[in-house]
């Protein structure tokens, strides 16, 4: 088969990329065409996404791709983070600049929601982990503070669906990202209309849901003119970036729950792939989430704060004029004293801190631990704490599925942190296989290839990834040291409950 090109637009919390996936002879090669920055924009005391700026950057990337690959391009699709959304009026005007999930407007909304609907009932209706950043609480905040603007909304689109609308005019929401909202019922596969009605959230704006791999239509004429692309298809990949990443995990065990994954980056999303949502009292008690995957599967997972702790420590030093890069910080962490200080990465104080180092200091002071002082001590605290939280979540996954987990796959940008990878193997006491770094982009373009008929199944997608990428295995070490640290970590978690 001659080579085919599929374009993936991958938008993350810190940057966005336009990627070209070149498929030939059962191998995929991913090329970065254009990279651009992303992040929250402060606007009058709020945090917003600059979606117009992102769209301008996407167009530039698509133009560069058209110049290089021309008629070889088959389709384009967008993946992003979850929960955030855009609203359009009846005349398809954008209603306001979309909020960033770290904006404080949703603070207190979870408590308001459960004062109206019992928390167990919300979980039974959605199967989603309780986090105040969830779309459900963002919409509830809007219903409380700006009901007039909300009433003007004719169309609700999650972020990737908004960019698909800009590309093709499609007015649908793709399933995998919809499952992050806490507004979808995993048993019906449709919006949780009854729950939303109980909370006073309008539902007429909610569009049709579609599955990964759905062809959404061809490019708008003006997009073709602006980019030089031909009338290619716009295809919904697994539009939640973690769903795309999990689709590209190079496991040969598709269909069995004896392997787990971490999509590692700003957030660590850790879970297993199951045939149906795992609901019930224990999943509710452990605050797990069920997010959609390929072929109707679910990702039973836990959102963990991830390398956000390290990123924010780095920014804290930068504000003081210290330009330490990630390599220097990790090297300093490797040389620091083991297990000096531990934190729960998911403590709410770390979600949107003014200064991450000050919050870590405060946590350690309150728990009678040595306060980190050096860059190495701060970063080692963050990395060891993450690895211990992974162990905790792994135990819970085995409990919920009833299946021992034999291997842990780590994909995404976090695979570059070899110290964290080794800590994770040590903590979990199972082999850790890392790679590919570009799992999200690979999953995006290969789902498009499947929509075009060039790939037949999820198992084949993963086989192509195995054929095309390198992985590395980290074997467990230092079992006794990590077991003792796990006891300390459990005591910290127990004391906080």
Q: In degrees rounded to 5, what are phi and psi of residue 387?
A: -60, -40
CA 442/CA 21 separation, integer angstroms: 7
pLDDT tens for 258-313 read 999 999 998 999 999 999 999 999 999 999 999 999 999 999 999 999 999 999 99
Neighbours of 49 (CB within 10 A): 25
pLDDT value of residue 13: 87
Q: Is 478 a catalytic residue?
A: no
pTM over 0.85: yes
Share of the chain above pLDDT 70, in %: 100
Give the pLDDT confidence of 32-71 residue by residue, as tens digits: 999 999 999 999 999 999 999 999 999 999 999 999 999 9
Residue 1 reports pLDDT greater than 80: no
Query: How many whole angstroms separate alpha carbon 389 and alpha carbon 383?
Result: 10
**Pairing of the two strands 85-88 and 259-264:** unpaired
How much is the pLDDT for 68?
A: 97
The predicted-structure confidence for 450-473, as pLDDT tens digits, reads as follows: 999 999 999 999 999 999 999 999
Identify the active-site residue in 124, 241, 344, 346: 241
């Amino acid at each position: 088969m001659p080579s085919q090109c599929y374009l993936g637009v991958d938008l993350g919390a810190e940057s966005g990329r336009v990627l070209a996936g070149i498929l030939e002879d059962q191998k995929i090669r991913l090329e970065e065409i254009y990279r651009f920055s992303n992040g929250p924009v402060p606007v009058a005391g709020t945090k917003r996404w600059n979606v117009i700026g992102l769209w301008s950057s996407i167009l530039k990337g698509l133009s560069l791709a058209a110049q290089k690959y021309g008629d070889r391009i088959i389709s384009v699709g967008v993946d992003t983070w979850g929960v955030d959304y855009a609203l359009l009026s009846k005349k398809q005007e954008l209603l306001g600049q979309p909020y960033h999930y770290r904006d404080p407007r949703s603070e207190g909304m979870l408590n308001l929601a459960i004062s109206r609907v019992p928390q167990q009932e919300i979980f039974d209706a959605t199967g989603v982990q309780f986090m105040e950043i969830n779309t459900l609480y963002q919409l509830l905040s809007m219903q409380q503070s700006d009901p007039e603007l909300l009433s003007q909304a004719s169309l609700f689109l999650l972020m990737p669906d908004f960019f698909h609308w800009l590309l093709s005019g499609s007015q649908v929401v793709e399933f995998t990202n919809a499952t992050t909202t806490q507004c979808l019922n995993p048993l019906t596969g449709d919006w949780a209309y009854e729950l939303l009605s109980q909370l006073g959230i309008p539902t007429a704006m909610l569009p049709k849901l579609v599955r990964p791999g759905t062809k959404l239509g061809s490019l708008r004429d003006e997009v073709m003119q602006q980019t030089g692309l031909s009338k290619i298809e716009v295809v919904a990949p697994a539009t939640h970036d973690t769903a795309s990443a999990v689709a590209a995990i190079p496991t040969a065990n598709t269909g069995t729950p004896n392997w787990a994954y971490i999509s590692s980056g700003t957030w660590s999303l850790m879970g297993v792939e199951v045939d149906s949502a795992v609901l019930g009292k224990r999943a509710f008690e452990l605050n797990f989430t069920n997010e959609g995957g390929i072929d109707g599967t679910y990702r039973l997972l836990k959102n963990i704060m991830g390398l956000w702790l390290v990123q924010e420590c780095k920014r804290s030093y930068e504000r003081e004029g210290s330009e330490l890069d990630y390599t220097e910080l990790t090297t300093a962490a490797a040389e620091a004293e083991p297990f000096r200080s531990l934190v729960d990465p998911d403590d709410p104080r770390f979600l949107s801190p003014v200064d991450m180092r000050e919050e870590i200091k405060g946590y350690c002071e309150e728990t009678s631990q040595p306060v980190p002082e050096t860059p190495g001590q701060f970063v080692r605290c963050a990395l060891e704490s993450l690895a211990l939280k992974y162990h905790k979540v792994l135990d819970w996954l085995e409990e919920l599925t009833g299946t021992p987990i034999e291997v842990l796959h780590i994909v995404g940008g976090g695979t570059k942190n070899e110290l964290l990878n080794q800590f994770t193997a040590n903590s979990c006491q199972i082999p850790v296989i890392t790679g590919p770094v570009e799992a999200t982009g690979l999953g995006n373009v290969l789902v498009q290839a499947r929509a075009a008929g060039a790939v037949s199944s999820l198992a084949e997608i993963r086989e192509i990834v195995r054929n095309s990428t390198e992985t590395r295995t980290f074997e467990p070490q230092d079992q006794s040291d990590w077991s003792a640290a796990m006891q300390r970590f459990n005591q910290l978690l127990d004391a906080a409950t």
